[in-house]
Structure 1
């Protein structure tokens, strides 16, 4: 079964992951035999790579897509969870460094938006190359701090937060075995994002696209608009109808609008999937 949260109970992709560390971290979502660019997708707190499989159905024909699989969930359930954004960024940057060179677009939803943002910053600072673009979704600008302690709640408190976001079926949240599998990763991810603080640094050089739901209880449109101060280049804001998981509720609209952004960032292509 697959949940909107993409937690440890969801099915992973039927494709066989590539060998080595990259194969553990990067899961192929959409192939493109003549790829000119690669889309890397970072999931939300408690999420997994499988979250993106139903969402990327109409990408440009020259963009291949991979989703990041964090440790501590699905087929990485036995691995220790990472508990800071810095650790997630360190690991992602090392994996991307080992990959064949190709222009990148980074996409992240919720916690994944912060991870993708820091990966983009790290690559620009290190000389690894500025991404073609960064697309952030369902997350307030990193300069806007808010005291959050969800990761310190008991299990019922964590579950209450997930119910509030409408990210997972209630039947799954009520299943003790399911909860036992996904709560450790969920708590670790909430600890990572709630203790994250952006270090000072120059704004991004790459184009920045911001997606947000107009009824998201975690981020207002104004808080999403504040991403503009973190980029020197072009910044666009797209507001969707829906809450925190607007992209799961409106998968075709999301896919179409992301595809349009990729075409703009990567150049015109012939056809789509």
Structure 2
């Protein structure tokens, strides 16, 4: 069993549906996508949601975290190789977009099966500087303030020190991961369709910076804007999942009945 997927996720994924591998944002874990299967089903999606669990958080809390993007992608590529033999789509939000694209690009480089599509939200293309949520040497208070302003920490949890003490080391390491050398170049675009989502009021990543992924798209690129800021996937979850469900139906293995 791959460390990046739970046993139940793998078992549930054995169906005629396309697999939707979901990569978390900085500081996040697989639980960020815990409600997606039910909600996407309600919107008529034909995908099996498989949340990716990175080391050093939630069920993998005792494992060392990666701070080097290339090392993480090497490990994921090896661990997920068997699961990626089945028809699948990658989805990543913010840091997850960087990871999803980098994994797809790495697999393209070695001739492995590619996703049917890659869906990316709230992140800049790899030829641009990584978005900086906070200075690397920011204090805990400054980092909490920056994350809360973006919507990365729900207000209800700001007064829970145990939660914050567990979150901050993960967030710091994830921010280091994002500042590493990009995996790909615009001269070697990804040979699968790219679907991009941008928050209209995102103060960290602008719509034009999301659109810049077009330079890396070798099989077409579609851009959709969403209400809300950087974490529109939470603040406007139902609206976003309705859009995502419609998108994934384009890649359904079994045609949707009229």
Q: Confirm or deny a common fold (TM above 0.5).
A: yes
Residues 1-273 of structure 1 mapped to structure 2, 5 A cutoff: 20=1, 22=2, 24-27=3-6, 28=9, 31=12, 34-56=15-37, 57-59=39-41, 62-99=46-83, 101-145=85-129, 148=132, 150-200=135-185, 201-266=187-252, 269-270=255-256
Q: Which residue of 2 aligns with 1:3?
A: none
Deviation of residue 62 (structure 1)? 4.2
* C-alpha contact (below 8 Å) 2:126/2:184 kept by paired residues: no
The alpha-carbon distance between structure 1 residues 100 and 135, as it changes in their structure 2 partners (threshold 3 A), is closer
Q: How many residues are treated as equivalent by the alignment?
A: 250
* C-alpha contact (below 8 Å) 2:214/2:221 kept by paired residues: yes
**What is the CA–CA distance in structure 2 between the aligned matches of 1:219 and 1:144, rounded to whole Å?**
11
Deviation of residue 181 (structure 1)? 1.3
The alpha-carbon distance between structure 1 residues 177 and 136, as it changes in their structure 2 partners (threshold 3 A), is same
The alpha-carbon distance between structure 1 residues 171 and 30, as it changes in their structure 2 partners (threshold 3 A), is farther
Which structure 1 residue ranges, 5 or more long, are not aligned?
1-19
RMSD: 2.2
**What is the CA–CA distance in structure 1 between the aligned matches of 2:78 and 2:23, rounded to whole Å?**
15
Deviation of residue 176 (structure 1)? 2.1
**What is the CA–CA distance in structure 2 between the aligned matches of 1:167 and 1:194, rounded to whole Å?**
19
The alpha-carbon distance between structure 1 residues 177 and 228, as it changes in their structure 2 partners (threshold 3 A), is same
The DSSP-based 3-state class of the residue aligned with 2:81 is: helix
Give TM-score scaled by structure 2 length: 0.88
The alpha-carbon distance between structure 1 residues 268 and 98, as it changes in their structure 2 partners (threshold 3 A), is closer
Deviation string 1:40-89 (CA, Å, 9 cap, x unpaired) is: 00010001101012234224564212011111111211111111222221
Which structure 2 residue ranges, 5 or more long, are not aligned?
none
Deviation of residue 130 (structure 1)? 2.2
* C-alpha contact (below 8 Å) 1:30/1:65 kept by paired residues: no
* C-alpha contact (below 8 Å) 1:208/1:233 kept by paired residues: yes
The alpha-carbon distance between structure 1 residues 153 and 195, as it changes in their structure 2 partners (threshold 3 A), is farther
Say which is worse superposed, 151-160 or 219-228, in terms of deviation: 151-160
* C-alpha contact (below 8 Å) 2:202/2:230 kept by paired residues: yes
The alpha-carbon distance between structure 1 residues 139 and 29, as it changes in their structure 2 partners (threshold 3 A), is farther
**What is the CA–CA distance in structure 2 between the aligned matches of 1:195 and 1:86, rounded to whole Å?**
8
Say which is worse superposed, 244-253 or 97-106, in terms of deviation: 97-106
Deviation of residue 150 (structure 1)? 3.1
Say which is worse superposed, 42-51 or 243-252, in terms of deviation: 243-252
